[in-house]
Amino acid sequence: MNLDEIDLGASLKKYFGFSQFKGLQEGVIENIVQGKNSFVIMPTGGGKSLCYQLPALMQEGTAIVVSPLIALMKNQVDAIRGISSEIGIAHVLNSSLTKTEIKQVKKDVSDGVTKLLYVAPESLTKEEYVDFLQGEKISFVAVDEAHCISEWGHDFRPEYRNLKSIVQRLGDGIPLIALTATATPKVQEDIIKNLGIGDAKVFKASFNRPNLYYEVRPKTQNVDADIIRFVKQNSGKSGIIYCLSRKRVEELAQVLQVNGVSAVPYHAGFDGKTRSKHQDMFLMEDVDVVVATIAFGMGIDKPDVRFVIHHDIPKSIESYYQETGRAGRDGGEGHCLAFYSYKDIEKLEKFMSGKPVAEQEIGNALLQEIVAYAETSMSRRKFILHYFGEEFDEVNGDGAEMDDNIRNPKEKQEAMDDVLK
Ligand code: ADP
Ligand code: MG
């Protein structure tokens, strides 16, 4: 497409009703409609979907969107159908479809009706689908959650590794766009290498969350009492408390309840009904606190979570960033408090001991980084952003003072000395 002849702002308004692009969206879309490869790195909630949805709607042909989760794909398809009178404008192609449904999808794609075709990576490897798509006009291929391609990411999926060769079979010069919220340089390298998009224009948004306050406290025998005190000081506010084990989740939720805090437990061991009940209680503010394993949070969009407590330190800085990122989505206060003891690191190491050697090596390297974070006396925000390959000025940077090490440099060091003793 020729950029001079199109009005992206008008299309944004027409299809989505928004009057302004968010962050780097416009540049990404310009790049895509010019048929170039793009690599988009933006934090969760940054508005990555629109980067491929809008150009897909504007262009001829069908855009293929590779996404790892069926639930995510269905949500997006429903949302796109909601802005059009044409149901066939977006489809999911996967193994759960009936023969008749597949026929309809193929017809809509062939007729040029379908602008967005969502596929799971394992479906895209199916010969039947590859054969079919080879004969169709494909506008571009978007690889969402592209970190799934890397073992250094938090959600490695081997099927993502085959994408490059499949896209090549679909036709010559089909533009690729990779999108992820995982900003570590290692993961980015893997994505570029595996998808063969060394020539891609990179769009990277800042990962700084200036309204989040980062704090690490030594974890002692009295950690439950420390947590209760914190939660009571923040009573009436919404918060998430992460624990490593399901058992600890249940125990801590109970301890909080006994102490008059309205809290519910959440982990993958509960049946679906209990899980959605507890999740809803938190979202509807029937309770203040949810005590959970990492099973809680993906896709939870509660804007006014005021604190995220880590009863146990997570297995990587990446995980820590994603989990604390659920605080302060509305831009308001968000207190991120982690309790740290080196014993917990040893526990995490033990967890990994049964895994393949290569996986252990990666796991241990990630653990060393979180140890360094917990024990650092420098700006925590600078530490996190440095991990993501981003510079941060710890004196004048946005949110520089929202950090225990900056606010209380001395106390901090003494506290850590206590832990190390
Ligand atoms: P990501 O995939 O980066 O986590 P999403 O694509 O899910 O983010 O978008 C997050 C939210 O931002 C969505 O609710 C979306 O509707 C909204 N959004 C995206 N672009 C815009 C925009 N230009 N103006 C207003 N809201 C937007
Ligand atoms: Mg997304």
What's residue 11's pLDDT?
96
Whether the pLDDT of residue 412 is over 90: the answer is no
Whether the pLDDT of residue 413 is over 60: the answer is no
Give the confidence band of 411 by pLDDT, cuts at 50, 70, 90. low
CA of 180 to the centre of ligand 2 (A): 7
Whether the pLDDT of residue 77 is over 60: the answer is yes
For ligand 1, atom 2: residue with the closest CA: 48
What's residue 89's pLDDT?
97
What's residue 61's pLDDT?
97
Share of the chain above pLDDT 90, in %: 85
Whether the pLDDT of residue 414 is over 90: the answer is no
Closest ligand to the CA of 147: 2
Neighbouring C-beta atoms of residue 397, cutoff 10 Å? 16
Work out the average pLDDT over 158-187.
Answer: 93
**CB of 317 closer than 8 Å to CB of 250:** no
pTM for the full predicted model: 0.86
**CB of 182 closer than 8 Å to CB of 45:** no
CA angle at residue 59 from 53 to 61, to 5 degrees?
Answer: 100
- ipTM for this prediction: 0.99
Q: Give 347-368 pLDDT, tens digit per residue.
A: 999 989 989 999 999 999 999 9
For ligand 1, atom 25: residue with the closest CA: 18
Whether the pLDDT of residue 70 is over 90: the answer is no
To test ligand 1's pocket by mutation, which of 22, 41, 302 has the most ligand atoms within 8 angstroms of CB?
22
Whether the pLDDT of residue 417 is over 80: the answer is no
Dihedral, 131, 136, 139, 144 alpha carbons, nearest 10: -30
Neighbouring C-beta atoms of residue 54, cutoff 10 Å? 24
Whether the pLDDT of residue 44 is over 90: the answer is no
Which is the closest atom of ligand 1 to the Cα of 48?
A: 3
Q: Give 272-282 pLDDT, tens digit per residue.
A: 999 999 999 99
What's residue 210's pLDDT?
96
Cα 151 to Cα 19, 154, 166, 313, 366, distances in angstroms: 39, 8, 20, 21, 12
CA of 51 to the centre of ligand 1 (A): 9
Q: Residues with Cβ < 8 Å from 258, sequence gap 6 or more?
A: none
For ligand 1, atom 9: residue with the closest CA: 47
To test ligand 1's pocket by mutation, which of 13, 15, 18, 300 has the most ligand atoms within 8 angstroms of CB?
18
CA distance 349 to 343: 10
Work out the average pLDDT over 147-174.
Answer: 92
Closest ligand to the CA of 13: 1
Whether the pLDDT of residue 153 is over 90: the answer is no
Q: Give 299-318 pLDDT, tens digit per residue.
A: 677 999 999 999 999 999 99
For ligand 1, atom 12: residue with the closest CA: 47
For ligand 1, atom 19: residue with the closest CA: 47
333: phi then psi, degrees, rounded to nearest 5: -50, 140
Q: CA 331 from chain center: how many Å?
A: 18
The overall average pLDDT reported for the chain is: 93
Q: Position 343: which residue type?
A: K
To test ligand 1's pocket by mutation, which of 18, 49, 53 has the most ligand atoms within 8 angstroms of CB?
49
Q: What is the DSSP letter of 173?
A: T
CA of 79 to the centre of ligand 1 (A): 12
Work out the average pLDDT over 186-191.
Answer: 95
CA of 381 to the centre of ligand 2 (A): 24
Ligand 1 binding pocket (C-beta < 6 A) is 18, 20-22, 25, 42, 44-50
- Exposure string (b/e) for 176-198, b if CB count within 10 Å is 16 or more? bbbbbbbbbebbbebbbebbebe
Whether the pLDDT of residue 201 is over 60: the answer is yes
CA of 107 to the centre of ligand 1 (A): 30
What's residue 419's pLDDT?
60
CA of 45 to the centre of ligand 1 (A): 6
Structure tokens that stand for 30 in this block: 């310009």
Give the confidence band of 416 by pLDDT, cuts at 50, 70, 90. low
